Amino acid sequence: MLYVKKAFSRHRRNLALLLLVAGMIFLGNSNGTNFFFSLTDKTETSYECANCYPGAYYRKVASEYADWQGIEGVIKIGQPTLDPARYNPRTNWSWDGFNIYMGGNAGGLQEIDAGLNWAPVLDVNGRRVGDGTVGAFHAFWRNGAWNDAPLTSQCYWYPGDVVKMSVVVTERGKLRLTICDAGPNPRRIFIQEFAASYFGGRARMQFKRVNDVAQHGNEGRPVIPTHTQIVGAAWQECYLLHTVNGVTVRVPTNSANTYSMSCPHKRHVRIVTTHELDAKGGEQISIYGTPPAPLAVPFQSAHSFNGR
């Protein structure tokens, strides 16, 4: 009988908690806003593993679906290290790679990726510089088909460079990617407008920022073990763009306004942030194919994201 009473009491508490959460979601949606919960326990791990798109190690931060006009941010590029065992002699290039990109989704009808991709460095004659490990970041956009910026010195960015990036709606069915040196007088700048059929129309849009260790030819499949990593990348600021009465409002990509994923498991991604950085939608990101040993001192965190 005591066991039955305890079980009944426990179920009442669980029901009360469920009703409370449901009420919070209802109230949040009733006034046009959304609640986002920072998942820090086993629930988060199962959520992330269940929703991760397979084939890469990555950090993704994305908005809810709304009438956004785009996303913009400033990032310091991290330091990449390639696993020699992942070298492909047929292409003189690694099976692993790196991407820093933005983009979004229009009503579940179209997904767009656009940003920086790790690629070989070519000289003025179009010949590859150095061995199969010499690379740099250059612009790409994917709107169904993969598109690359010209492989020229004006379109290369390197580890440690600080870059401003944006993807914005310019008109119905079109997006514009802009990548340039951060600061008032950029030396390198790349601008590309491209078709994105479902953006800027009636569909509500989601925008995102992503850092990853990609694996060529492995998209949609379980990740392949690797020691490739990229450490010390830092979004110094990042904002969602929304227009209110003709005025552009910048909304930081922090836990109050977005959800985040570290895939295929949070142990592969380490996040450092502060209250000041979080207020600007920023964070520091390191991604490891092989997770390093746990730190003796925990990372500082303004919020308890997925271990951050």
Q: Are 97 and 118 in contact (CB under 8 A)?
A: yes
Distance CA 52, CA 210 (A): 13
Q: pLDDT tens for residues 167-195?
A: 999 999 999 999 999 988 899 999 999 99
User: For 117-131, what is the mean pLDDT?
Assistant: 89
Q: CA torsion 199→142→98→79, rounded to 10°? A: -60
Cα–Cα distance list, 290 to 31, 60, 228 (Å)? 44, 19, 7
| Number of neighbours of residue 254 by Cβ within 10 angstroms | 23
pLDDT at 3: 37
Residue 79 CB partners (closer than 8 Å, separation 6+): 159, 160, 230, 231, 232
Residue 178 CB partners (closer than 8 Å, separation 6+): 164, 165, 166, 168, 189, 190, 191
pLDDT at 183: 86
Chain centroid to CA 278:
15
Q: Report the amino acid identity of residue 210.
A: V
Distance CA 198, CA 65 (A): 13
Q: pLDDT tens for residues 203-229?
A: 999 999 999 999 999 999 999 999 999
For the entire predicted model, the pTM comes to 0.80
Distance CA 273, CA 278 (A): 6
On average, the pLDDT of the chain sits at 83
Tokens representing 35? 């609640």
Where is pLDDT greater, at 20 or 128? 128
Is 294 a residue whose pLDDT tops 80? Answer: no
- Rounded to 5 degrees, φ, ψ at 189 are -150, 140
- Rounded to 5 degrees, φ, ψ at 86 are -100, 10
